């Protein structure tokens, strides 16, 4: 019983430390970087993105997830397609978790990159098959100048203002995201070049 209590206390301590670090990173995201903090994508959304890639973009060799967080979507794409996935994350704690999960799940074709995604994309010399962003309204709009660097650009929930998507996939049956008090039903906005 004593061993059980010690293990339980250690696990609770680790969980509390995780939550403290996570909340510090979220505060930095919002107040210092003026970004929407990392929100994990639901498994249903991940499956929908993978299905879209597998049915419509079977020849995709390179995928970039812009703002990958812990990398759940990037790993799922890497496991279920033949593409090499670059998971770009700027926040240090999220990036550390992303690297750890890539190691634990042995996802070889998911490459974690710690960088400001917009600076990284701006410096890219090569064309990328697919870019994916689950960044939110306003922030997705920052992708407009870089859209030509992707054969396909997919945004989740929020469109890129000033651009007309080739297709919109309604995923509202899986719920919605709330940003600034506004409900955004889950959708994929797909831009093709």
| Tens of pLDDT, residues 114-171 | 999 999 999 988 889 999 998 878 888 999 999 999 999 999 988 999 999 999 999 9
Contacts of 121 (CB under 8 A, 6+ apart): 64, 66, 131, 143, 146, 149
Going from N- to C-terminal start, the domains of the chain cover: 1-34, 43-192
- The number of helix segments (H) and strand segments (E) in the chain equals 5, 9
Residue 177 near residue 184 (C-beta atoms within 8 A):
yes
When pLDDT is averaged across residues 41-52 and rounded to a whole number, the result is 88
Query: What pLDDT score does 60 carry?
Result: 95
Write down the pTM of the prediction. Answer: 0.84
d(Cα 166, Cα 63) in Å, to the nearest integer? Answer: 18
Most confident range (mean pLDDT) of 12-26, 27-41, 118-132, 174-188 is: 118-132
Going by C-alpha positions, the residue among 182, 149, 163, 164 that lies closest to residue 66 is 149
| CATH T-level assignment (fold) for domain 43-192 | Rossmann fold (3.40.50)
Residue 148 near residue 126 (C-beta atoms within 8 A):
no
| Tens of pLDDT, residues 51-81 | 999 999 999 999 999 999 899 999 999 999 9
Going by C-alpha positions, the residue among 134, 140, 126 that lies closest to residue 77 is 134
């Amino acid at each position: 019983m004593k061993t059980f209590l010690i293990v339980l206390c250690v696990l609770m301590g680790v969980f509390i430390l995780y939550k403290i670090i996570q909340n510090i990173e979220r505060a930095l995201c919002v107040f210092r970087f003026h970004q929407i903090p990392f929100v994990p994508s639901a498994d249903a959304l991940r499956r929908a993105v993978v299905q879209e890639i597998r049915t419509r973009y079977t020849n995709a060799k390179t995928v970039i997830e812009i703002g990958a967080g812990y990398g759940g979507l990037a790993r799922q794409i890497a496991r279920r397609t033949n593409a090499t996935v670059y998971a770009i994350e700027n926040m240090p704690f999220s990036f550390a978790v992303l690297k750890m999960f890539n190691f634990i799940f042995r996802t070889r074709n998911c490459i974690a990159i710690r960088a400001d995604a917009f600076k990284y994309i701006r410096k890219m010399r090569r064309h990328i098959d697919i870019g994916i962003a689950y960044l939110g309204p306003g922030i997705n709009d920052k992708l407009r100048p870089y859209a030509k660097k992707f054969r396909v650009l997919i945004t989740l929930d929020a469109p890129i203002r000033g651009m007309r998507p080739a297709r919109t996939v309604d995923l509202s049956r899986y719920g919605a995201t709330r940003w600034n008090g506004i409900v955004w039903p889950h959708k994929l906005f797909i831009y093709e070049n």
